[in-house]
Structure 1
């Protein structure tokens, strides 16, 4: 049976985005056959979608291989331009990075992942390349735990109960009950610190950014490595700056 709203969805548009999203680090220049295998669509359907995207200027081909064009970046630029939060946060992120000497990031929740929407890098402390648009598991990050701590119960259940959770490192907490208890602690103390759960040696602290209605709209984070700091040092030296900066960003948002 159709779910509410299914009859209003445009299936061809969904398929088009499925093809666009199939281009990634593992398949930067896929063939039509590779795209069909990844998306589960037929080769004729993928071919029509690629031809349409090529006509619109979003993909190009060289021989049998396809690649994205710079035009796809415009989609992200439109998102940034339409969200006052990102524009307001950027100077605060820069100031935070200067005060701590560490990278500062802003992220939002999307399904079971957090997405970096603004970032000021200082040093490369992760094997994973992090930039605007990077997605990481919410349950394994301080930003994700902050966002989940203030999310509605249905959303939390959807994230924690959607199946086996990813375990990026041996230290990653994947038990749903343990994570719910941690979310309660995060909400009570007003911040989150996670060490070695997304990547060995990575320590991050996050605080919620609230709009003037009190709704948490993003998470602000500062990250460092175990070689330069400790979780306790972040708690005493960085968390107060994070909370202060998060409040300053939230104060600039309108209802």
Structure 2
């Protein structure tokens, strides 16, 4: 690794801040800590842990148990959370928090027919994602089958540095934004093929920027290969990424480049025309 990369690496915190520590570190007098804690409690739930105890939520977020208890009590009173003894889970009403975004954003409104068309053409799962914090957030998806051990749906999140969607988005970051990203993210291996050095990821992003697409082979999960392209708004800025994921044993890299890439590029262009 060169000197500049070493300098960047040395700036990284030795220990990532918990959600609670990040909240407490904010000094804006207008910032509502209680609201931030409530949102953090909601985000603690996931596909893997749909039911959680107060202690488990406290451990996941770093928020004191007493504060977690108050958040859950409030959310339960408002109809967003249910409880079975000491186990808490989200109720369907929680979907209303995200529906306004999905129904009012031109990108998500326009995307689904396009994704369905791509999925039918290639008979593979197609997804659209945006960048959020240090991860990619799925805002639309058309699935033909489940190809990952973890189910992906609208609202799912994955790391950006080792996914095709994430690399397409990161490749179009400014240098300052990219430096901030690497300062905040922990590069960890999901498989023995995951690139976890900052220099290595930066080199890949440079190639993605030059080629106009990202191809990731089994870095997030063994057996998964995916390819993604950028989606640009009217200003020309990249605002989202569009991808196809398939089983690596069934779809080779050459087929993805020659057959899947042109279909994705046409889909991205179709979405760009529809966006303001």
Q: TM-score normalised to the size of structure 2?
A: 0.86
1:194 aligns with 216
For residues 128 and 249 of structure 2, the distance between their equivalents in structure 1, rounded to whole angstroms, comes to: 23
1:10 aligns with 2:17: no
Correspondences of 1:59-78 after superposition (within 5 Å): 59-78=81-100
Correspondences of 1:123-202 after superposition (within 5 Å): 123-162=145-184, 164-202=186-224
Query: Offset at 1:5?
Result: 6.6
Counting matched residue pairs gives 253
The answer to whether the Cα contact below 8 Å between 1:161 and 1:176 also exists between their aligned partners in 2 is: no
1:103 aligns with 2:125: yes
1:231 aligns with 2:253: yes
RMSD of aligned C-alpha atoms? 1.7
Gaps of 5+ in 2: 1-23
1:241 aligns with 263
Larger mean CA deviation between 71-80 and 16-25 belongs to 16-25
For residues 266 and 48 of structure 2, the distance between their equivalents in structure 1, rounded to whole angstroms, comes to: 39
Query: Offset at 1:151?
Result: 1.6
For residues 51 and 178 of structure 1, the distance between their equivalents in structure 2, rounded to whole angstroms, comes to: 46
* 1:86-143 residue CA offsets vs partner (Å, 9 max, x unmatched): 1111111111111111111000111221111100001221112111111111011111
Report the CA distance shift for 1:37/1:176 in structure 2 as closer, same or farther (over 3 A). Answer: closer
1:218 aligns with 240
Runs of 4 or more above 6 Å deviation: 2-5
Gaps of 5+ in 1: none
Report the CA distance shift for 1:178/1:36 in structure 2 as closer, same or farther (over 3 A). Answer: closer
Query: Offset at 1:229?
Result: 1.2
Report the CA distance shift for 1:227/1:217 in structure 2 as closer, same or farther (over 3 A). Answer: same
